[in-house]
Structure 1
């Protein structure tokens, strides 16, 4: 992909193939002289990570790395990361990876200088104001997948390992100072990760577009994000070296995560407790729920989905859009039920309770109740 661009919305983004070479300059702009690169275990020994550490070392930034990060990161990972950060005398974080590495990296930068416990900063009311904003370390984010969009997010999703609940920790300064969005870093993603992360971006766009809240900027971004996924996710899945497709998918991920300031909904409300309890891949879980949630919300979203279908050149309005989603899932190997993700005999009551307490419920077009959420979940088991 020959496109290279610098964007300033929603933060400073350096987009283009090969731009990981600018990691040292990005750290300088962010005010970081001794970074800790935070990533997940799977990425720790991969070539893209080694290359980034080499670039850091060559620039005099050291090559410190923390990678004790679970696929659904938790408070234990956070505590270990904060310990590594403080003991190493670091002054900023390079959050490197997919959603888990990015979320945990941002959280380490946030928590390293705080005195209150992690759960005191959950995204409830104005709890974020409890944080010492001056103690939050700068962050450079480097996504290696195209899905969560956490590189432009103002929060981290962290699992409470004791209660098996996913919690959102929020603060405006979670937003990284600089993002390097380099599609070459995503070339090595296996097909099932390409599919799952791409469908996570699609879910963000669809739920944001359907949310009843007023946010026309997000509405436009969600619609174009859906188009990019429609055109380029099949290409990226079919040929992982297709840099043009990889690049457009990274843009779609950024757009989806920016758009969901407008709200999410039942897809994420259900996916979060499933991931926390059964450790399923987040984006793939979203994809399993999407067809049923579209039908669940049909009374409220037929009009907006008709608009989306027209823009995406999908005939048949709402029904045609749903048929498209089913076909897309099938073409990418997404199972139709949670059992296909290894979720056997799920604790229905616990999942429903988790869904109803999730912040995403507030953006769902149809009010979620214990009764209708239980029925919706049972359709997907």
Structure 2
């Protein structure tokens, strides 16, 4: 496993390799953090792995506090409570440890530590980020324990506005964690269903950024290789949860997906965000279920990139532009089945009652702006209905 012990500096400083959680104290010292607040979720807080983060810090005299009162879809109250805890213990930095919810919450808490505005004043609309006082942002270390969101290399936190029943993107360039630790040993206990949902989340990021119409060749190349890693390693991580190489490669693929979606996302996320806010379902699972229905809706605009993808993943022959789309779609459907993803939204308790509302919310969701095709509320409603029914029509 030594070949995986490398340091990367794109898009931020990334320490890669199994067992590198033991270097957390060094990361704190590098950032001059003496009293870190570990932001995690209740499940991780109760696991032995939390000690692997705390013990190295205690050994060098760091005063560590823990905050874990966050929901699966963190809201503004969770963030306010975390900031209050941070001030109570006079913390001078944040360690975000866990899955996407913990990473998003940790990033938002580090942002809000020294701000006077409401968190909603920093929603990713126009130049709202200019309202942030950069001096009030604390140094931040991010340590993912799932291979899915890639939030550890993002400048955005997804926070649920429960009053409006909407997910909002909070953005500032300085929200990018200063140091990331990708340690596969921390993901070894992840159960198969979460391995599948988070892995498909990583696929959705790589896939949507790959066929985004925005010009960003670097992101396009990263997304392509990210999907190759997922094709090879997600089934292995799902079937053999203790395989360290598969776990490490999936962490890398997740990180690549979030790096690539600087190029933009699309209709999968435009639908998943309102569904997550309305039904409080796992984001990665929603993306996984929605994926083939959105692919089919986008087909007229993505034939060429799907041809390239099919060729790169060795899914199709020389007639890639004729058969490439079908090859990719069949691969996605097969992968979902292989890792136990439900075929329809109905199977996870979502019906068509709010179809019109979902369609309208999706059409104005920020991710919709970089989808290869511009869908209106009715068209998004129709995609949602097909996903509810499990109707695949080519």
TM-score normalised over the length of structure 1: 0.99
Return the match for 2:374 from 360, 364, 367.
367
CA change 1:247–1:346 in 2 (3 A) is: farther
1:349 deviation in Å? 2.2
Q: Counterparts of 2:36 and 2:347 in 1: how far apart (Å)? A: 40
Within the alignment, does 1:201 sit opposite 2:202 as a pair? Answer: yes
Q: Which runs of 5+ in 1 are unaligned?
A: none
Q: Establish whether residue 188 from structure 1 lines up as the match of residue 195 from structure 2.
A: no
Instruction: Quote the residue 1:358 is aligned against.
Output: 365
- The equivalent of 1:269 in structure 2 is 270
Report the alpha carbon displacement of residue 187 of structure 1 after superposing the two structures with TM: 0.2
**What corresponds to 2:122 in structure 1?**
121
Is residue 137 of structure 2 the alignment partner of residue 136 of structure 1?
A: yes
| 3-state SS of paired residue (1:42) | helix
1:278 counterpart = 2:279: yes
CA distance in 1, matches of 2:265, 2:82: 29
**Pairing of 1:175-324 with structure 2 (within 5 A):** 175-315=176-316, 316-324=323-331
**1:47-62 correspondence to structure 2 within 5 Å:** 47-62=48-63
Matched position secondary structure for 1:180: strand
Contact persistence 2:264–2:367 (CA under 8 A): yes
Shift of 1:345: 4.5
Deviating 4+ runs (over 4 angstroms): none
Measure how far apart 1:31 and its partner are.
2.0
Contact 2:39 2:102 in 1 (8 A): yes
Match of 1:333 in 2: 340
CA contact (8 A) 2:360 2:378 kept: no
User: Residue 355 of structure 2 corresponds to which residue in structure 1?
Assistant: 348
C-alpha distance in structure 2 between counterparts of 1:165 and 1:131, whole Å: 22
Q: Please identify, of 188-197 and 346-355, the stretch whose mean Cα deviation from structure 2 is larger.
A: 346-355
Gaps of 5+ in 2: 317-322, 389-394
Per the TM alignment, residue 83 of structure 1 is displaced from its structure 2 partner at its CA by 0.5
Distance 1:23 1:173 in 2: 21
Corresponding residue for 1:90? 91
> CA shift at 1:359, angstroms?
0.6
TM-score (norm 2): 0.95
Deviations 1:245-281 (A, max 9, x none): 0111011011000100101000000000111111111
For the residues of structure 2 that align with 1:186 and 1:164, how far apart are their CA atoms?
Answer: 31
8 Å CA contact 1:54–1:63 kept in 2: the answer is no
Q: How many residues align?
A: 381
2:73 corresponds to 1:72: yes
Q: Distance in 2 between matches of 1:232 and 1:122?
A: 35
